[in-house]
């Protein structure tokens, strides 16, 4: 059995106290193995971001336990195990594209930063844009810079929170292809939040379906689609079947609610 990257046991998260108390997550147990690509899907407010943030030690659970690479999340964060990509590219305006990609390396005191940054930019097909400023790039290009930045220091776990949510459909499909390629070329494990069913099915080895109030895991769908996935995958019957399976899983919880 391969090594567990994420190991969550009965994790709960409650925000606030008394009147304003919100139970965002209840009894979440989830194991993710090295090299998996796992999507979290569910209606808005079901706690996808919260779960991702718990994994990434951007917030702490109120109950249960999480281990990342066999360590507490905080330790994993201090060991720089996480690469994070948000819906917004969140590039620093005052830095060129290359300097943005170098940012984590500067903080981690890595040498040869410019060289690594340029390699990463080539990986996301932006090799010629190192000297541009973020505002000179389109939304899709900015998001690719954000992905390059998240990968510079070889994190073992890539956390992505609706990274393509703000992109148009065309760019979105291209970015999905690109993320898969990068996932194949690196040995990163990916946890990917989305509310698009086709996106989750196309990208993932496993789709975790969540239900709201409080957020729970209601289903897990193994996609079992052949790798590598490409434009043909999008037209394969197996792909449509999996989309239907995830859609029905989401429907079932509506019926239950």
Partner 1 sequence: MTVGDQEHKASEIDDVYQTEFVSAFEGDVPAGTRTPSALRHRLRTAGPAIAAFILVLALWEGLTRLFDVKTFVLARPSLILERFILTSDVVWSAGFNTLFEAGIGLVAGTILGVGVAFVTIRWAPVREGLMPFAVAANSVPIIALAPIANGMFSLTSPVSKIAVVTVVVFFPVMINSARGLIEVDEDELELMRSYAAKPREIMWRVRVPHALPYFFSAMKVVAVLSIIAAIIAEYFGGSQDVLGQYILTKASLFVYADAWAGILVASILGVTLYAIVLVAERLIMPWHVSFRASDAT
Ligand X SMILES: Nc1ncnc2c1ncn2[C@@H]1O[C@H](COP(=O)(O)OP(=O)(O)O)[C@@H](O)[C@H]1O
22-33 vs 37-41, strand pairing mode = unpaired
**Residue 90 engages partner 1 in binding (rule: CB under 8 A):** yes
Distance CA 217, CA 220 (A): 8
Question: Does 60 engage in binding with ligand X (CB under 6 A)?
Answer: no
Nearest to 163 by CA among 181, 184, 185, 148: 148
Choose, by CB under 6 A, the member of 3, 10, 22, 128 that binds ligand X.
22
All residues at 6 or more sequence positions from 138 whose CB lies less than 8 Å from its CB, including other chains: 171
Q: Does 24 bind ligand X (CB under 6 A)?
A: yes
Contact between 127 and ligand X by CB under 6 A: the answer reads no
Which 25-44 positions form the footprint of partner 1 (CB under 8 A)?
Answer: none
Q: Does 93 bind partner 1 (CB under 8 A)?
A: yes
Residue 125 binds partner 1, judged by CB under 8 A: yes
Q: Are the beta carbons of 73 and 16 closer than 8 angstroms?
A: no
| Smallest separation (angstroms) from ligand X to the CB of 66 | 15
159 is an interface residue for ligand X by CB under 6 A? no
Beta bridge partners of 117: none
| Best CA proximity match to 145, nearest among 168, 174, 166, 118 | 118
Interface with ligand X by CB under 6 A: which range of 44-52, 69-77, 88-96, 239-247?
A: 44-52
Considering only residues 43, 178, 206, 213, which one is a binding residue for partner 1 as defined by CB under 8 A?
Answer: 178
Compute the distance between CA of residue 243 and CA of residue 226 in angstroms, rounded to an integer.
Answer: 15
Q: Which of 82, 192, 202, 239 binds partner 1 (CB under 8 A)?
A: 82
Tell me the longest C-alpha to C-alpha distance in the chain.
Answer: 55
Decide whether 49 or 96 has the Cβ nearer to ligand X. Answer: 49
Distance CA 244, CA 238 (A): 10
Q: What's the CA gap between 207 and 197, in Å, rounded?
A: 9
Provide the binding-site residues for Mg ion, judged by CB under 5 A.
49
Provide the binding-site residues for partner 1, judged by CB under 8 A.
56-58, 77-78, 80, 82-84, 86, 88, 90, 92-95, 103-104, 106-108, 125, 133, 135-138, 140-141, 153, 170-171, 174, 177-178, 181, 231
């Amino acid at each position: 059995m391969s090594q567990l990257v994420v190991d969550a046991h009965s994790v709960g998260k409650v925000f606030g106290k008394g009147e304003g108390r919100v139970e965002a997550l209840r009894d979440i147990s989830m194991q993710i193995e090295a090299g998996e690509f796992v999507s979290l899907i569910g209606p808005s407010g079901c706690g996808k971001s919260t779960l991702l943030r718990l994994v990434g030690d951007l917030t702490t659970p109120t109950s249960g336990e999480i281990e990342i690479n066999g360590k507490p999340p905080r330790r994993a964060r201090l060991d720089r195990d996480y690469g994070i990509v948000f819906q917004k590219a969140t590039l620093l305006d005052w830095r060129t594209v290359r300097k943005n990609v170098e940012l984590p390396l500067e903080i981690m005191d890595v040498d040869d930063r410019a060289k690594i940054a340029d390699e990463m930019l080539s990986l996301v097909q932006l090799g010629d844009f190192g000297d541009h400023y973020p505002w000179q790039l389109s939304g899709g290009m900015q998001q690719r810079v954000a992905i390059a930045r998240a990968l510079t220091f070889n994190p073992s776990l890539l956390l992505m929170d609706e990274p393509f949510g703000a992109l148009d459909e065309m760019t979105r499909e291209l970015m999905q292809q690109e993320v898969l390629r990068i996932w194949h070329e690196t040995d990163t494990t990916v946890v990917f939040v989305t509310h698009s069913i086709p996106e989750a099915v196309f990208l993932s080895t496993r789709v975790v379906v969540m239900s709201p109030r409080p957020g729970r895991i209601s289903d897990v769908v193994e996609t079992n689609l052949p790798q590598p996935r490409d434009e043909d995958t999008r037209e394969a019957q197996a792909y449509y079947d999996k989309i239907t399976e995830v859609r029905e899983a989401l429907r079932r919880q509506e019926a239950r609610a």
